[in-house]
Amino acid sequence: MTDLLVLGGTAWLGREIAAQAVARGWDVTCLARGESGIVAPGATLVTADRDRPGAYREVAGRDWDAVVEVSWQPRQVREAAQALAARALHWTYVSSVAAYAPSREVVAEDAPLRAPAGPDERVDGSRYDAAKVRCELDTLVEAPEALLVRAGVIIGPGDPTERFAYWPRRAAQAGAEPMLVPAAPAHPWQLIDVRDLAAWNLDAIEAGVGGPVNAVGEQRELSYVVELAREVAAAVGPQVDVDGSWLVEHGVAPWKGPGSLPLWVPDDGGAARTGYHSGARFVATGGHRRSLMESIRDVLAEERALGLDRHVDGGLTRERELALLEAWARQAV
């Protein structure tokens, strides 16, 4: 039986890894504060605050077949590796393609990285990319053969970011009514379902895969995501393509967050942060990508179960969207 320690394990990707490992018959322990959710059935929770001294005391006195680390706070990642790496046969650090310097060329695993955050810098989302670089560097000091999972944009059921789910939910809300979509050009995406990412990570542990791997999906345009979302949701109302600069002028934010159009990043012709990463090594090491249609179906089913009209923190409200559509129609006359 494989003894797996997940540093985290109560939220999205970490919990999915733990759940799938339990299903494989692994002995799974999750070290977390326990505030982001509950551990998967069959896993053991060790409650600890990783910002406090002695956080790893309960798990540092035994050997582990594998450790999976998902944090992006540099000090947490460094201290965990210092405390545990010597007694782990395999170490995974879940990083991100955001660690790479922006490019419009195909980015393989040996491409340049961004400048790292400081060793003890307490980072927020604006420093996420630099933090991932620092965490990779500090991981390799203690675990030189570690698997560095440079993930693309993760999608699928349970997504707490509200990025991907916005589009199938909005398509279902719109139905026979108009739906606002940003007009091209926009940067493409490489979307990876959380279930596929977790399954591959466990396979990679079993196979002893190390080094950096771009765990990414196929390159897809946002327009394609919208098209599939509308098809799955049976949205038959008009799709209104609105000029991106007009949207920005009217206070619509790109990428994510309140008042945004999630996954929309206008393409100004410059270097891109995502969408151009080679997935060759991911596929060569057994990576599987389910269809985007399947992911959308499952996400929409979850959205319907949760309530399409519930309050969510990300994206445009339906009321705001309709107001923008009205303003766009007026200026077009």
Tens of pLDDT, residues 66-99? 999 999 999 999 999 999 999 999 999 999 999 9
For residue 332, pLDDT over 90 is answered with no
* pLDDT > 90: percent of the chain: 94
Angle between helix axes 166-174 and 222-233 (nearest 10 degrees) is 50
CB-count burial class (<10 Å; 0-12, 13-18, 19+) for 221:
middle
Domain that residue 318 falls in: 157-190+220-270+290-332
Asked if 45 and 146 sit in the same domain, the reply is yes
Token pair belonging to 6: 């997940």
Same-domain pairing of 53 and 165: no
90 and 176 within one domain: no
Shared-domain flag, residues 109 and 19: yes
CA angle 286, 187, 285 (to 5 degrees): 10
DSSP conformation letters of 237-301: SPEEEE-HHHHHHTTPEEESSBTEEET--B--SS-BSSS-B--HHHHHTT-----HHHHHHHHHH
Non-local CB neighbours of 284 within 8 Å, separated by 6+ positions: none
- The predicted structure's pLDDT at residue 274: 86
Q: Give pLDDT tens digits for 280-325.
A: 999 999 999 999 999 999 999 999 999 999 999 999 999 999 999 9
Number of domains making up the chain: 2
In a shared domain, residues 91 and 169: no
The pTM of the full predicted model, rounded to 2 decimals, is 0.97
Lowest mean pLDDT among 39-43, 60-64, 241-245, 270-274: 270-274
**Hey, is 47 helix, strand or coil?**
strand
**77 lies in the same domain as 116:** yes
Residue 311: both structure tokens together: 């309050």
pLDDT of residue 111: 97
199 domain-assigned: no
Return the bridge partners of 262, or none.
255
Whether 239 is covered by a domain: the verdict is yes
Helix (H) or strand (E) holding 304: helix 292-306
pLDDT at 1 over 80: no
Q: Sorting pLDDT into bands at 50, 70 and 90, what band is 20?
A: very high
Tell me what pLDDT residue 113 has: 97
Question: Does 90 reside within a domain?
Answer: yes
Residue 284 lies in a domain: no
Strands in 10-115 per DSSP E:
27-32, 44-47, 64-69, 88-96
Question: Do residues 127 and 28 share a domain?
Answer: yes
Q: What is the overall mean pLDDT for the chain? A: 96
Close Cβ partners of 158 (under 8 Å, ≥ 6 residues apart):
12, 15, 16, 194, 302
- Same-domain status, 232 and 294: yes
Q: Does a structural domain hold residue 163?
A: yes
- Average pLDDT (236-261) is 97
Prior bond to 262 cis, omega within 30? Answer: no
Give the bridge partners for 47, in sequence order.
32
Same domain, 56 and 118: yes
